[in-house]
Amino acid sequence: MHLFGEAVSTSTLFFLILALGLALSFEFVNGFHDTANAVATVIYTHSLKPTVAVVWSGCWNLIGVLTSSGGVAFSVVALLPVELVLNVGSGAGFAMVFALLLSAIIWNLGTWWLGLPASSSHTLVGAIMGVGLANSMLTPGHVFGEGVNWAKAADVFKSLLISPVVGFVCAGLLLLLCKAFVRRKDLYEAPEPGKAPPLWIRSLLVFTCTGVSFAHGSNDGQKGMGLIVLILVGILPGVYALNPTAQPEDIAVIVQNAQAAAPFLDARAPLMQVHGQDSVDELSDFMKPSGKPGDRFWDSLAGKDHDIIDQLSGKQSFRELSAEQRKSLRRDIYLMGESINKLDKNKLITDPAEIKALKSLSSSLGAQTKFIPTWVKVAVALALGIGTMVGWKRIVVTVGEKIGKEHMTYAQGASAELVAMTTILVADHYNLPVSTTHVLSSGVAGTMAANRSGLQMDTLRNLLLAWVLTLPVCVLLGAGIFSGSFYVLFHVIGVK
């Protein structure tokens, strides 16, 4: 049968449906697990009825996903072992996708059932680390631990560790500033049972709920997008190996930039250019977290540059290439672009003209592999939005009543959400995944401390326990599920 114009077997279609179903299930669970934080204040303060609040939040999550840049999606993908990204259509690639998604779903459902605001970002990062570690153990010739991009993981950890501290401190300070400059007694009172606040307070809380919902969609929604694109590349490479919406001028720019970079690369290649699998192996070794330029690195980079020029010169569309050629070209483009990015990040090139030429090439190459199809955005947006509309109550009760010893006031809820919204949007700008859950719950705790309302240590202990356990548990889940899926796909089903 044919799908999107590409011939697929029944087994391939089965894997596609299963993988997409898991990815959208992850976003659905993410919706009712994380976004309960966004609606907690408006529901708890009676600013909006629960049904209206979750539908409103779901719609703004949807808008956040649809308007997102995709940068966070590929920051998450960059954590994956390079050989699995390059061979995502193999049995190991399928095992990776299933392990990541199942681990995240299992942990999110477990913490939701216990009413604990745990982080979907931590969950996914832990599963990725587990997959990387298991892959390095199962693949011959690999050193244990080299399957994890530790440098990129460190950047993500920093954002996940710092954001709760920012939430706690900034929300507390914002509440104190509010008390100093806004002298309205009703703003600092706990909600009366069944009674809506004054219109101006209600408007403020609806605004902050809207902002957190939009920010959550724009950041968290991208994590599933990146995995779905990998699924599509692995199963339907003829359609999705390279950006299907690329225009003739986009291809012309790649050729132009590759030709501009060629003199610099040729000058660094003292031996003859390296092509084929030898160049792939050389650049793949460099892309490993501990990789350094080998003896034939520059020869391989120069060879890949000329390969790209030869394949794309005179082409008006990627459809002029066969499915196998597109898959091979994607691999070459990915290795070329990421190698240049690593060279630049590690300051291994210093000549300004060379840096400019290579970065221009990397940028034009990245646009053809780092893309999110519109229908993927819509599907993720709907899954996240619908998820927001169910299962919210357990987390809302924890956020509203169980963090502080006194009930949350209007000002506390608004301060926590304003800080959460701002923090997530700033992280989104820098393509960093952060935890909506941690930022908001720590923000509520910060306002309780600033207000001297007291903190419920049992709840904080449980939150801290979930925060500490998420990473190691998900590493173990990811490694275990990957190993099991790897065995089944290779030895039982026979997927190579």
Does residue 398 surpass a pLDDT of 60? no
| Confidence at residue 254, expressed as pLDDT on a 0 to 100 scale | 95
pLDDT tens for each residue of 213-244: 898 888 877 877 888 888 888 788 778 888 98
Per the structure, the count of domains in the chain is 2
Residue 358 domain boundaries: 246-369
Please check whether residues 139 and 202 belong to one and the same domain: yes
pLDDT tens for each residue of 444-471: 888 888 877 666 666 667 667 767 778 8
Nearest to 124 by CA among 146, 105, 150: 105
Please check whether residues 349 and 384 belong to one and the same domain: no
| Confidence at residue 305, expressed as pLDDT on a 0 to 100 scale | 93
Indicate the pLDDT class of residue 416, thresholds 50, 70 and 90: confident
Please check whether residues 137 and 283 belong to one and the same domain: no
Lowest-confidence region among 72-76, 139-143, 348-352: 139-143
Please check whether residues 66 and 206 belong to one and the same domain: yes
Please indicate whether residue 99 or residue 83 has the higher confidence score (pLDDT): 99
- Residue 208 belongs to some domain of the structure: yes
Indicate the pLDDT class of residue 259, thresholds 50, 70 and 90: very high
Non-local CB neighbours of 4 within 8 Å, separated by 6+ positions:
236, 239
Please check whether residues 223 and 282 belong to one and the same domain: no
Average pLDDT, the chain: 81
d(CA 75, CA 358): 20
| Confidence at residue 1, expressed as pLDDT on a 0 to 100 scale | 57
Which residue type sits at 305? D
Indicate the pLDDT class of residue 147, thresholds 50, 70 and 90: low
Tokens standing for 198?
Answer: 């004054």
Which residue type sits at 136? S
Per the CB < 8 A criterion, the answer to whether 220 and 337 are in contact is no
- Residue 85 belongs to some domain of the structure: yes
- Residue 193 belongs to some domain of the structure: yes
For 384-411, what is the mean pLDDT? 66
The domain boundary residue, chosen from 335, 369, 403: 369
For 111-133, what is the mean pLDDT? 78
Indicate the pLDDT class of residue 310, thresholds 50, 70 and 90: very high
User: Strand locations in 199-315, DSSP E?
Assistant: none
Please check whether residues 128 and 225 belong to one and the same domain: yes
- Residue 385 belongs to some domain of the structure: yes
Which residue type sits at 43? I
- Residue 19 belongs to some domain of the structure: yes
Q: Phi and psi dihedrals of 377, rounded to 5?
A: -60, -45
For 470-479, what is the mean pLDDT? 87
Does residue 369 surpass a pLDDT of 60? yes
Please check whether residues 12 and 98 belong to one and the same domain: yes
Tokens standing for 155?
Answer: 């950047």
d(CA 307, CA 273): 10
The pTM assigned to this predicted structure is 0.79
Say whether 2 sits in a helix, a strand or coil: strand
- Residue 404 belongs to some domain of the structure: no
3-state SS track over 307-324: HHHHHHCCCCCHHHCCHH
Please check whether residues 76 and 192 belong to one and the same domain: yes
Per the CB < 8 A criterion, the answer to whether 109 and 469 are in contact is no
d(CA 461, CA 28): 27
Alpha carbon distances (Å) from 400 to 44, 240, 284: 6, 44, 49
d(CA 331, CA 347): 24
Q: Phi and psi dihedrals of 455, rounded to 5?
A: -120, 140
H helices within 182-198, ranges in order?
none
d(CA 494, CA 496): 6
- Residue 58 belongs to some domain of the structure: yes
For 336-343, what is the mean pLDDT? 91
For 429-445, what is the mean pLDDT? 77
Does residue 399 surpass a pLDDT of 60? no
pLDDT tens for each residue of 172-189: 999 899 888 888 887 887
Q: Phi and psi dihedrals of 293, rounded to 5?
A: -60, 120
Please check whether residues 231 and 309 belong to one and the same domain: no
| Confidence at residue 313, expressed as pLDDT on a 0 to 100 scale | 92
The domain boundary residue, chosen from 322, 353, 369: 369
H helices within 346-452, ranges in order?
352-369, 374-388, 393-401, 410-429, 436-450
Nearest to 243 by CA among 227, 229, 260, 258: 229
Count of beta carbons in the 10 Å neighbourhood of residue 66:
15
Please check whether residues 80 and 130 belong to one and the same domain: yes
Please check whether residues 6 and 139 belong to one and the same domain: yes
Tokens standing for 370?
Answer: 């780092």
| Confidence at residue 459, expressed as pLDDT on a 0 to 100 scale | 63
Indicate the pLDDT class of residue 403, thresholds 50, 70 and 90: low
For 193-209, what is the mean pLDDT? 84
| Confidence at residue 256, expressed as pLDDT on a 0 to 100 scale | 95
d(CA 272, CA 322): 28
d(CA 480, CA 100): 11
| Confidence at residue 361, expressed as pLDDT on a 0 to 100 scale | 94
Please check whether residues 72 and 20 belong to one and the same domain: yes
d(CA 381, CA 386): 8
Buried b (16+ CB within 10 A) or exposed e, 263-298: ebbeeebeeebbbeeebbebbbbbbbbebebeebbb
H helices within 35-184, ranges in order?
36-44, 50-66, 71-77, 82-86, 91-113, 120-138, 150-181
Would residue 192 be called left, alpha or beta, if left means φ above 0 and alpha means ψ between -120 and 50 degrees? Answer: beta
User: CA neighbours within 13 Å on the CB side: how many for 377?
Assistant: 16
